[in-house]
Structure 1
Amino acid sequence: MTRVNEYAQPIGDPVTDWTPPEGPERVTLVGRSAQLEPLRRDHAQSFLPSVASHPELWTYLRVEPPRTPEEAYAVIDRILAGADVPFALIRRDTGEPRGMLTLMRIDRVNGVIEVGNILYAPELQRTRVTTEAFHVLAAHVFEDLGYRRFEWKCDSLNEPSRRAALRLGFTEEGTFRSHVVYKGRNRDTTWFAMTVDEWPRIREAHRRWLAESNFGADGRQVQKMSEVFASLDA
């Protein structure tokens, strides 16, 4: 039932037992196959060369792929100089940094935070490692830090990013048309989000998909993430 005020106008539900959270700090988050460490300049030595050699991975990022080690370090330096909280994605089986992702657009007053600057080495695409990296980050956002809303935004033409957001449990909320100009072209931005109320269901789906029993001896998944979500809703 919609709440109304004394003027018979509809209003939102009250927010009780909640105070604005602290900003995220540079911590290490550990899963079984993935580990997130505070991004350092030396991480660039491990993962930027592999992603720089795949220019298609940079199409929807604001920067061009680095062509030299100096340009690679400049990418990291710009990220580290900002107010965001970037992480290096570490493969726990090798201990190697193989990507990065960032907590950004941090709005403590309203309990909103975004994940962005996502860049993985090609061999990690569509693997347990990247799924678990996101899972431990989302758990950190909702459970450790106490944020109410976790956002994902991308170029509306970036179909792999749109699919990834939906697969992980985000809800598509709409598109901001003519939102950004980057690399000399227009970007319509599609917004996705999950909320703290939705997190328990999403967390359970992630846990079931990541379970060892969901993978065969060849490492292939038994159930797709979409099938896991469907089984929870049955």
Structure 2
Amino acid sequence: MSEPSAVPINAGPFDPQPVTLIGRHVRLEPLGAVHADGLLAAGAYPELWTVTVQPPLDSAAAVARYLDEATRSTASGQEVPFAIIDQNTNELVGSTRWMDIVRAHRRVEIGSTWLTPRVQRTLVNTEAKFLQLTHLFETLGAVRVQFKTDLRNTQSQRALEKLGAIREGVLRRHMIVRDGFVRDSVYYGITDLDWPGVKRRLHERLMAEGAEAASGRG
């Protein structure tokens, strides 16, 4: 029997809105002014911003501009920004957002993701993505979730491939980053047909990484 290729006729509107997503290790909550101090502390690492369009969060003024932009994008329905919170310490450890939302085609991008260095290459990113993908596919009925990254950012590409996202191609000279460099962007995607397999692998990774962390080896 072939897999379904159409959205169920009883699917409700695809309308991503601010929501709190809670996991065992991380919590995603709508980004707001209450997160200003946490953003400044977590983002105070120049290496986070070397290949980004986003200016560094290296001052209170930079954080204020970041939050103002997030507020405007939320109010317009264009984006849904999140703070990523460590459940064990209640500290902000990064941010992510839903963007390029195309409601008519049930498509969304997970992007503008960054994590403070101490939680990189840990289960924080895995669980944050798992929570978002579960909500987008299973609660909202997304057909496609996509990601893009700078071609030079091989760490991000490895993380997306471990996630189970499919590398779909490169858009050449796609965006101008802060230093004037014209970057190539690599696109990855996960569709509703991919999701069951991706979900299974992500769940297995979370269990394995959680066990490793608990043993003191991670």
TM-score with structure 2 setting the length: 0.88
DSSP-derived class of the 1:73 partner: helix
1:25 aligns with 2:17: yes
Q: Report the Cα offset of residue 205 of structure 1.
A: 1.0
Paired residues of 1:88 and 1:101 also in contact (CA < 8 A): yes
Following superposition, the deviation at residue 30 of structure 1 comes to 0.7
C-alpha separation in 1, matches of 2:126 and 2:61 = 31
| Kept in 1: contact 2:14–2:106 (CA 8 A) | no
Distance 1:39 1:125 in 2: 20
Give the drift of 1:39: 0.7
Matches of residues 147-186 of structure 1 in structure 2 within 5 Å? Answer: 147-183=142-178, 184-186=180-182
Q: Secondary structure at the match of 2:43?
A: helix
**Residues 76-98 of structure 1: CA distance to partner in whole angstroms, max 9, x if unpaired?**
21122112001110111111221
CA gap of 1:131–1:31, structure 2 versus 1, over 3 A, is same
How far has the Cα of 1:130 moved from its partner? 1.9
The residue that corresponds to 1:71 in the other structure is 62
Q: Secondary structure at the match of 2:184?
A: strand
Alignment of 1:53-92 (within 5 A): 54-82=45-73, 83-92=78-87
SS in 2 for 1:77: helix
- Partners of 2:46 and 2:40 lie apart in 1 by 11
Amino acid at match of 1:67: D
Q: Does the Cα contact within 8 Å between 1:103 and 1:116 map onto a contact in 2?
A: yes
Structure 2 residue 213 is matched with structure 1 residue 218: no
Q: What CA RMSD, in Å, does the superposition of the two structures yield over aligned residues?
A: 1.8
- Larger CA deviation: 30-39 vs 176-185: 176-185
- CA distance in structure 2 between the aligned counterparts of 1:189 and 1:144, rounded to whole angstroms: 29
Deviation at 1:219, TM superposition (A): 4.2
Q: Which amino acid aligns with 1:56?
A: E
Which residue of structure 1 aligns with residue 35 of structure 2? Answer: 43
Q: How many residues align?
A: 207
Q: 1:193 to 1:95 in 2, by over 3 A?
A: same
* CA distance in 2: counterparts of 1:219 and 1:96, whole angstroms: 22
Matched to 2:92, the amino acid is P
* TM-aligned CA distance change 1:16 to 1:204, over 3 Å: closer
Q: Secondary structure at the match of 1:36?
A: strand
TM-score by length of 1: 0.83
* Kept after mapping to 2: 8 A contact 1:20/1:110: no
Q: CA deviation at 1:65?
A: 1.0
1:6-38 CA deviation, whole Å, 9 max, x = no partner?
A: xxxxxxx96352457321111110111111101
In our comparison, the structure showing a higher alpha carbon Rg is 1
Q: Look up the equivalent residue of 1:210 and give its one-letter code.
A: L
Q: Among residues 191, 194, 201, which one is paired with 1:195 in the alignment?
A: 191
What is the distance in 2 between the residues matched to 1:16 and 1:116?
24
Could you say which residue in structure 1 is the equivalent of 2:107? 112
Return the alpha-carbon distance in structure 2 between the equivalents of residues 22 and 112 of structure 1. 9
Q: What is residue 232 of structure 1 aligned with on the other side? A: none
2:95 to 89, 100, 104: 100
Q: Residue 179 of structure 1 contacts residue 187 of structure 1 at CA under 8 Å; is this kept in 2?
A: yes
Separation in 1, partners of 2:150, 2:124: 24
Could you say which structure has the greater relative contact order, defined with CA pairs below 8 angstroms and 6 or more residues apart? 2
